Amino acid sequence: MSSQELELTIGWLYPTLMSTYGDRGNVICIERRCLWRGYNVKVLPLDQKATADDIRQVDLIVGGGAQDRQQEIVMRDLQGGKAEALRVKIENGTPGVFTCGSPQLLGHYYEPGLGQRIEGLGILDMVSVHPGENTRRCIGNLVVEVTATRLAQDLSNMLGGTPYLIGFENHGGRTKLGKVEALGRVVYGLGNNGEDGTEGAFYRNAIATYSHGPLLPKNPFVADWLIQTALRLKYQQPITLSPLEDTLAMEAREAMFKRLKVNVIA
Ligand code: GLN
């Protein structure tokens, strides 16, 4: 298939309610990397006006972070047919990147610092609890070695080395994983809870992480993994992406690793 025939629809969960700390950067990054390769790309907001049918037609899903109050509004809307459509999408392997507040809602529940427990969709076997307004938030740079087996393998094939992600976290909630696989191991920063060394989760083709919206611009190979996975699933063909000029992004990673004094061979 020629690149002009390829088409992707990015579903963006609640863009106005869930887009803290640059999370729209993830949408822009996927969109641009598709356009640079000549694919047709559409961004579909999956917000209060969207229907279950809208959710069913997306090829890739992006969900950002939110404050506790916004998370509650989202969960009041994401019920019934819409919740089911999202569950089926993720279970069927639609790739996605879910940041901070989004994974909290894909888990069993999120307990905010103030107020009532918000029931999640239970797609990811994990729970998140904010220990209270007086507890320190987890804020700062984050470096993670991807350990989720299949993703780690794919990314190391793309990179020719161990896949490290660089990002930035800002959350009060602490996440404890059940049986779901962690996305990776914290090399620098706090990750899921600052205690067990895990960061994020990986389920089917959904990447859940505490790393905010510069995640994909800072780690463009992850954006390409998402795009490639989405295209292969949609067209059922072994589509391989053409390379893009990523020298600056890769040099920026090196600079951050040096600045944080983390010894990674990336
Ligand atoms: N409200 C959640 C927390 O503080 C998520 C915050 C966010 O998405 N940045 O843990």
Domains and CATH numbers, the chain: 3-260 (3.40.50.880)
**Which of 19-28, 46-55, 82-91, 118-127 has the lowest average pLDDT?**
19-28
Report how far ligand 1's centroid is from the alpha carbon of 170 (Å): 7
Q: Is the CB of 171 under 6 A from ligand 1?
A: yes
Q: Is the CB of 101 under 6 A from ligand 1?
A: yes
C-alpha 232/C-alpha 230 separation (Å) is: 6
User: What is the residue type of 81?
Assistant: G
Average model confidence (pLDDT) across the chain: 96
By CB neighbour count within 10 A (0-12 exposed, 13-18 middle, 19+ buried), where does 77 fall? middle
Atom of ligand 1 nearest to the CA of 71: 1
Instruction: Report whether pLDDT(266) > 60.
Output: no
CB 62 within 8 A of CB 213: no
Instruction: Report whether pLDDT(185) > 60.
Output: yes
Top pLDDT among 171 and 265 is at 171
Report how far ligand 1's centroid is from the alpha carbon of 151 (Å): 25
Q: Is the CB of 166 under 6 A from ligand 1?
A: no
Q: Rounded mean pLDDT of 176-180? A: 98
The runs of H, that is alpha helices, within 65-172 are: 68-77, 80-91, 101-106, 149-159
Q: Is the CB of 89 under 6 A from ligand 1?
A: no
Residue recorded with tokens 């009041």: 76
Task: Please state the separation of Cα 2 from the chain's center in Å.
Answer: 28
The pLDDT value recorded for residue 8 is: 98
Q: How long, in residues, is the chain?
A: 266
Q: Rounded mean pLDDT of 221-244? A: 97
